Amino acid sequence: MPKIAPLGGPVTEVTVAVCSLVVAVVGLLVAMLAIRFAARQAAAAAEQVRTGNGFAGVSTTFGVFGLLHPLLRVFVDHPDLYPYFYQGKPVPRRGKDRVRVQVMAEMLADALSSALQMTGQIPSAKDGLSSWSLYVVHMLDTCGPLQEAMRRYPGWWPHLEELASSRTAGGRPAAPVPPVS
């Protein structure tokens, strides 16, 4: 039977190799645990990002409708303005109604452009606002007061102008949009 060296006895190459192997295995196990823990943290962080993006999308959708609903409320309070925006009635050439229509068109352009900007910056908002772009396109194609405001103040609503220019080919809409009934 081999004789075991007492503590503090001579250290052999085999002893060093065994100790090195034990340390390496322990180090490998610690590294594997650290990698597993890091993977769990990354998965949790990814889930938090998905949840945060979902909330951002909902918040953006709410914000878009928060911009538009007060404007639509004006049509409830002043139904005489509705035909100018949705039924193709020509903008008055002068008078109090002209000013009301022009101001309403500028407010509508502000809301539409801001909404386009928000949906462009928050990708998760596109789910809740997929039909929003159809509404904006419809208004660009059919709303005389909006078209007049954009011609009168070029550069004021870059997101609307970008959408309008991306849709035109030879001065016509790139695709017909059915009227809203």
Per-residue confidence band for 115, with pLDDT thresholds at 50, 70 and 90: confident
Please give the share of the chain, as a percent, with pLDDT higher than 90: 35
Report yes or no on whether pTM surpasses 0.85.
no
Computed on alpha carbons and rounded to an integer, the radius of gyration of the chain in Å comes to 33
Q: Does residue 48 sit within a domain? A: no
Q: Phi and psi dihedrals of 172, rounded to 5?
A: -115, 155
Q: Does residue 128 sit within a domain? A: yes
Q: Does residue 9 sit within a domain? A: no
Transcribe 111-158 into DSSP letters.
HHHHHHHHHHH-TTHHHHTTTHHHHHHHHHHH-HHHHHHHHHSTTS-H
DSSP lists the bridge partners of residue 172 as 169
CB distance 132 to 175 below 8 Å: no
Which among 90, 110, 91, 99 has a CA at the least distance from the CA of 150? 110
CB distance 71 to 108 below 8 Å: yes
CB distance 147 to 140 below 8 Å: yes
pLDDT surpassing 70 at residue 101: yes
User: What does the pLDDT read at residue 176?
Assistant: 40
User: What does the pLDDT read at residue 83?
Assistant: 95
User: What does the pLDDT read at residue 3?
Assistant: 61
* Structural domain for 97, as ranges: 57-173
pLDDT surpassing 80 at residue 125: no
Structurally, the chain folds into a number of domains equal to 1
Q: Does residue 143 sit within a domain? A: yes
Q: Does residue 149 sit within a domain? A: yes
Q: Does residue 134 sit within a domain? A: yes
Q: Does residue 105 sit within a domain? A: yes
Burial of 110 (0-12, 13-18, 19+ CB in 10 A): middle
Q: Does residue 86 sit within a domain? A: yes
pLDDT digits 0-9 by tens, 19-43: 888 998 888 999 899 899 888 998 8
